[in-house]
Copies of this chain bind each other. A is one copy, B any other.
Amino acid sequence: MFLKNHWYIAARAGEIGRAPLGRVICGVPLVLFRTEAGAPAALSNVCSHRRAPLDKGKLAGDAIVCPYHGMRFDAGGRCVRIPGQETIPAEAHIDAFPAVERWDLVWVWMGAPGAADPAAIPARPWRADPAWNAESTHYYHVKASHLLMTDNLLDLGHVAYIHADTIGFDAAVLEKDPLVTEVDGERVRNTRIVENIEPAPAVKGWGGFTGRVDRVSISDWTPPCYTAIQFANRSRSGEGAVEFRIDHFPTPETDRTMHYWVLVSRNFRIGDAELTRRIHADNDRVAAQDIDIVEAQQRMIDLAPGRRDMPIRQDKGLVAAHRILARLARAEAAARRTRAAAAARSLSRSAAGTRRAAPRR
Q: Which residues of A contact B (CB under 8 A)?
A: 24, 27-29, 44-46, 48-53, 56, 66-71, 82-85, 89, 91-92, 151, 155, 157-158, 160-162, 171, 174-175, 178, 293, 296-297, 299-301, 303-304, 307, 309-314
Contact = CB atoms under 8 A, between A and B. Distances in A.
Given A83-B314, A84-B157, A50 B297 contact: yes
B85 A293 contact: no
A169 to B, nearest CB: 12
Contact of A52 (B46, B85, B296): B296
Given A53-B297, A296-B56, A303-B24, A314 B70 contact: no
Contacts of A171: 70, 83
A178 B66 CA distance: 20
Nearest to A84: B314
B29 A67 contact: no
A85 B51 contact: no
B300 A69 contact: no
Contacts of A304: 28-29, 44, 46, 51
Given A68-B297, A69-B161, A84-B175, 7 more contacts: A51-B300, A56-B293, A56-B296, A67-B293, A69-B157, A69-B314, A84-B157
Given A29-B303, A84-B157, A297-B52, A162 B67 contact: yes
15 contacts: A46-B300, A46-B307, A49-B310, A50-B151, A50-B297, A51-B297, A53-B297, A53-B300, A68-B158, A69-B155, A70-B171, A83-B171, A83-B175, A91-B310, A92-B310
Copies in the complex: 3
Contacts of A67: 161-162, 293
A92 B49 CA distance: 49
A208 to B, nearest CB: 35
B50 A309 contact: yes
A82 B312 contact: yes
A161 B310 contact: no
B46 A312 contact: no
A329 to B, nearest CB: 20
A45 B300 contact: yes
A50 B155 CA distance: 11
A150 B199 CA distance: 64
Contacts of A48: 310
A283 to B, nearest CB: 20
Contact of A53 (B56, B155, B296, B309): B296
A180 to B, nearest CB: 13
B296 A158 contact: no
Nearest to A314: B84
Nearest to A87: B313
Contact of A314 (B85, B155, B309): B85
A37 to B, nearest CB: 26
Nearest to A309: B50
Given A70-B171, A155-B69, A178 B84 contact: yes
Contacts of A52: 293, 296-297, 300
Q: Which 3 A-B pairs have the closest CB atoms?
A: A85-B313, A84-B314, A29-B303
A158 B67 CA distance: 8
A44 to B, nearest CB: 8
Give the residue among A52, A71, A307, A313 with the most B Cβ atoms within 10 A: A52
Contacts of A84: 157, 174-175, 178, 312-314
